[in-house]
Amino acid sequence: MDNPPSSVKLSLSRATHKDGKARKAALEVWFEEVRRARWGSMAEVKRHYRTASVVTAERIVFNIKGNDYRLVVAVDFEKRIVWIKWIGTHSEYEQIDVTKVQYGGK
């Protein structure tokens, strides 16, 4: 893939309403990495992020900020779009259905 994901969009203020600065900082670092990424498949994502977990053909879970948070995203490799579906702590993660969770809800 010649171009990085073109649409990594989320209002950081919306995504960080719970624990503010720490969550926002973690997302900002991840955002920059993804903007530079050249992913064409889940296998390429896994090569770069070995601790990431592929959940479905389009969903993947990242451990971010030194493993303090889990980030659930959906990826459309053809359109180069990444959608953030959920971010939270590991204990919060245990309470969601990762295959169905949508941003703003369980």
Q: What is the mean pLDDT of residues 89-103?
A: 90
**24: domain range?**
7-93
98 assigned to some structural domain:
no
pLDDT tens-digit series, residues 15-56: 545 567 778 888 888 988 888 888 899 999 999 999 999 999
Please determine, for residue 105, whether its predicted confidence score (pLDDT) is greater than 70.
no
Q: Cα–Cα distance between 80 and 39 in angstroms, integer?
A: 8
76 assigned to some structural domain:
yes
Please determine, for residue 9, whether its predicted confidence score (pLDDT) is greater than 90.
no
Residue with tokens 């359109």: 79
2 assigned to some structural domain:
no
One-letter amino acid for residue 49 of the chain: Y
75 assigned to some structural domain:
yes
Check which CATH number belongs to the domain holding 74 and give it: 3.30.2310.20
Domain count, the chain: 1
